[in-house]
Structure 1
Amino acid sequence: MSSFRGLSIGISGLYANKRSLDTISHNIANSDNPLYVRQQALHADSRYSRISLTNYIGTGVDVQQIRQIRDEFLDTKVRKEASELGYWVSRSNVFDQVEGIVRELSEDAMQGLMDKFWGSWEEVYKTPGSQTARGLLRERAIEFVGSVNHMYTQLESLQFNLDNNIKNIVDEVNYLTNGIAELNTKIMSAEAMGVTANDYRDTRNGYLDRLSQIVKVDYYTSNNGAINVAVGGAHIVSDGIHREIEAKNNGSPFVDVFWKDTGEELLPERDLKSGELIGLLYARGYYGQESEITDTTEYKYIIPTMKKQLDEYVKGLSEAINEIHSTGKTLTGNTGIDFFVKQDPSNEHWAGNIKLNDVLDSLDEIAASESGDIGDGKIAEAIAKLRYTGIFNDGKTNPDNFYRDIITDFGIAGNEAITMSNAHEMVVNQIDDRRSSLSGVSLDEEMTEMIKFQHAYNANARLINAIDEMIEQIVNKMGIVGR
């Protein structure tokens, strides 16, 4: 009987080591899979068998479980940092796009244009009757109008593009939460049957990693193996059920984010808290928000703040020039003519809506004179001096300095976004490297383990052969005499 017991023990060793080799093979096959977590077959003593009242004997080895080598603490840390990273990366990307659109914010471009514009007024002051000087002034004014209108309309286009991005990212959230819920169902079903669903868990963790980058999530694992996920204190995934969110218009051309089943809005600071989604919402801002912004240095709402600053600059400049120009006299003796006008008078904004007065298609209608004399350029001189006159911030800031303040505030806010995104990216990479060093597949390590279990498998096979020979000796040869 002990020989048969030894045969059974050897077979258990063959089975256990084969399971370990199968697990190693699975690891190696998934070595390039970024979501895969290394697995390990855990061996444990089989139950002991009683051979007498006081003596027990081992019965071999069992494969207790195929476990994943992962640290849930590192998963939690990387997901917490991922939501912060997502927020700052989305802001950094929008700052980069705004800088590309408002190319004049590279100071030389816009400042160079304005240098020429102010210089043209000085030339008209010196030679107020010159058609050449007047023509050059008109061209410089058209350049200014075209530039600021282009900037403003491009900023508005970017807002609508970001609005579409918000819709897409809401769809992605629904896709991820649906995927997590479906995987919960598969994991619960498989593990209820005693099967370890490690590969399902890898895919689910990948979904959860991406979801945590989009929006701040809280989650916990139930005893049944399901991960339950909450956003803003409300479950978005519960076992095999998920709630959808939707991006819809709410009395505005821009969308807001709502729970689809209840219609309750998910507020950025209360519910979303951090992540790419809130970063996009803040960068896009809300429709018509420019008039509500009081702090133009923070750039929390990136595009509305830039639109407000640009509109204030164009409005202040236009009204100051018009105030002086309308008091001057043209070469034809006319007066009361505005230099700049709105394309749509009913629109309160100047940026994106400014144009050169159509009357000035005739160069003679540019009012450079105070007295009406052809050699009088006092009005042109007064307008040229506006460059150094405090017309912004209650008379404290001249146009050049106001524009430089826009550049400075935008640059500081943009640099903060880059610095913070780089800092959080570094932290995420550090944690992810630690996670990969623990959970990733090392081919060298797997080869070492493969050799170890291969030798163990061969040793068990030789043990079985030895016991087989012993049994054959007992069964076929014992008791036979004369041979």
Structure 2
Amino acid sequence: MSIQSILDIGKSGITAQRLALEVTSENITNVNTPGYSRQTTIFQTSFVTEERGFPLGTGVNVAEIQRAYDDFLQTQLKTEASTTGWSSTVLASMKRAEQLFNEFTADGLGKSMQEFFAAWQDLTANPQGQPERQAVLARAQQVVDQFHRINGYLTDIKREANQSLEGITSDVNESLTRIASLNDQIKLIEIRGARANELRDQRDLLVRQLSEKVGITYLEQTDGTLNVSLSLGPPLVLGNKAAELSLEPDAANNGYYKIFATSPGDNTAVDISSIVGGPNNSQGRMGGTLQVRDSLVNGFLSDLDELASSLATEVNSLHSAGFGLNSSTGLDFFTAPTVTSGYSGIGGIQLAISKTADIAAASVDPVTGGTGNNLNSRAIASVYDKVLATSGGNMTMEAFYNALVGKVGVAVQDAQRSSDLSEGIIKQLDTLRESQSGVSLDEELANLIKYQKAYEGAAKLVNVGTEMLDTILGLIR
């Protein structure tokens, strides 16, 4: 082996250890960077030569800067992020809805209905009494106001959910554009044989953040790019091209948004609302938002409308057959429901009478049948305990309202359970990822010392070769 070989071996050692020190420094400085994966310098011996029949190495090379990465773990994180986005969105809305449906002992719709029919019961004791009649009107107005309040609040939840789609869609579009841009950069770097580790980390983090907003699948291509698609839907990213999501008001659905996607590199917009927010595949914040807006809240409103319609229909049928103090008859107590849908809102249920004399407490005209007749008020008071045919089966109004309260509670419990479970899994997966891909400062500091000493050794080897060369040159002089 020549002196030049010694110098070359020392040079390769200095170059390799310097690169290892740079990689270690990169790890240390990114210890708190979200999504960063630890990098490791992989060494390999240079080609082997034969010197006087003996195989001798020619130094060391850096074979690869390896990224600590587990694709299966990334897929699990992506899946759970979608579940977390869905459950947190649904849970927030359902908790707001839950506040509206108090138990009968609280100041809610259930309590108001109880007091309304109790006022009719009080009227039976004194059918001519003005205070009792005024109480009936007052309690009836409270019931109407409660229906309007709950209907309006549920409608507000739908409206706010619909409006939140604007921000979610904008975030999705931004993530898609950035993923497509990173695909292009990664391809340009890796086509030369290098590894774009930091860019891959950024892309993985974006994919995880995107999956929290909408359900997706992805597949890495041979050139290093990542193709992203909606779960059970069209592609969102193909190479360096990204789809664009847009919103359009749907006149058939009260002007609420429909979601469209323009395929990557194409101008054709496809309605993906049913794909993103379908009953069996709702994922991410966008899917949860659509489920709240188009399914869960609509179910509560439908039951609320049915309850209001049943209340008005049953009371009206009896009230219109009775007689008021002024011999009035044939009067509805509430505005008659023409359709059930929307009847619990301001444009639906209202008081149809305003005079206490029009309250039909008697079953016959008081002028001919006596002023003490209370048969009609007794019949109306008993409506509360009457078993009615409802969409949920034969039950009383109290039982129907209890069932509605139960539905809201179950929706909250389901979303809470899913949220807690998903958050627990996310924590476990994050811990596992940290153990596999995270940066350990203790380990990196130890590597720093190791590579520093190796660098010093390689430099010493160069010094030795230089001294040997100086000695030989001295002999010539």
**TM-score clears 0.5:** yes
Going from structure 1 to structure 2, the CA distance change for 1:113 and 1:326 (only over 3 Å counts) comes to: same
Q: Which residue of 2 aligns with 1:149?
A: 148
Q: Which residue of 1 aligns with 2:161?
A: 162
Alignment partners' CA distance in 1, 2:350 and 2:127: 19
- Residue 271 of structure 2 is aligned to residue 265 of structure 1: yes
Q: Secondary structure at the match of 1:359?
A: coil
Alignment partners' CA distance in 2, 1:106 and 1:61: 80
Aligned positions of 1:88-107 closer than 5 A = 88-100=87-99, 102-104=100-102
Alignment partners' CA distance in 1, 2:282 and 2:41: 39
Aligned positions of 1:154-303 closer than 5 A = 154-231=153-230, 232-252=232-252, 253-260=255-262, 261-266=267-272, 268-269=274-275, 273-276=281-284, 277-285=286-294, 301-303=295-297
Going from structure 1 to structure 2, the CA distance change for 1:468 and 1:230 (only over 3 Å counts) comes to: same
Answer yes or no: is the 8 Å Cα contact 2:276–2:282 preserved in 1.
no
- Residue 371 of structure 2 is aligned to residue 374 of structure 1: yes
Q: Which stretch has the larger CA shift, 142-151 or 452-461?
A: 452-461
Alignment partners' CA distance in 2, 1:249 and 1:263: 14
Deviation at 1:358, TM superposition (A): 5.1
Alignment partners' CA distance in 2, 1:92 and 1:431: 22
Alignment partners' CA distance in 2, 1:266 and 1:422: 29
Q: Which residue of 2 aligns with 1:85?
A: 84
Q: Percent identity?
A: 28
Alignment partners' CA distance in 1, 2:307 and 2:316: 14
Alignment partners' CA distance in 1, 2:237 and 2:441: 36
Structure 2 gaps, min length 5: none
Alignment partners' CA distance in 1, 2:145 and 2:26: 63
Structure 1 gaps, min length 5: 286-300
- Residue 325 of structure 2 is aligned to residue 331 of structure 1: yes
Deviation at 1:346, TM superposition (A): 8.2
Residue identity opposite 2:359 in structure 1:
I
Residue identity opposite 2:261 in structure 1:
W
Deviation at 1:185, TM superposition (A): 0.7
Q: Which stretch has the larger CA shift, 225-234 or 403-412?
A: 225-234
Give the superposed CA RMSD: 2.4
Q: Secondary structure at the match of 1:41?
A: strand
Going from structure 1 to structure 2, the CA distance change for 1:425 and 1:120 (only over 3 Å counts) comes to: same
* Per-residue Cα deviation, 1:283-332 (whole angstroms, up to 9, x for no partner): 211xxxxxxxxxxxxxxx10110000000001001111111111111111
Q: Secondary structure at the match of 2:259?
A: strand
Runs (4+) off by over 6 Å: 344-347
Answer yes or no: is the 8 Å Cα contact 1:113–1:144 preserved in 2.
yes
Deviation at 1:32, TM superposition (A): 1.1
Alignment partners' CA distance in 1, 2:394 and 2:237: 55
Q: How many residue pairs were aligned?
A: 460
* Per-residue Cα deviation, 1:221-248 (whole angstroms, up to 9, x for no partner): 1221111112235322111112223222
Deviation at 1:267, TM superposition (A): 5.2
After TM superposition, the score normalised by the length of structure 2 is: 0.90
* Per-residue Cα deviation, 1:333-367 (whole angstroms, up to 9, x for no partner): 1111111116x97885320134543532x222212
* Per-residue Cα deviation, 1:229-271 (whole angstroms, up to 9, x for no partner): 1223532211111222322234431222223332322253589
Deviation at 1:103, TM superposition (A): 4.4
* Per-residue Cα deviation, 1:345-399 (whole angstroms, up to 9, x for no partner): 7885320134543532x22221212232332222221111111111242882111
Q: Secondary structure at the match of 2:40?
A: strand
Going from structure 1 to structure 2, the CA distance change for 1:348 and 1:450 (only over 3 Å counts) comes to: closer
Residue identity opposite 2:258 in structure 1:
D
Alignment partners' CA distance in 1, 2:387 and 2:339: 28
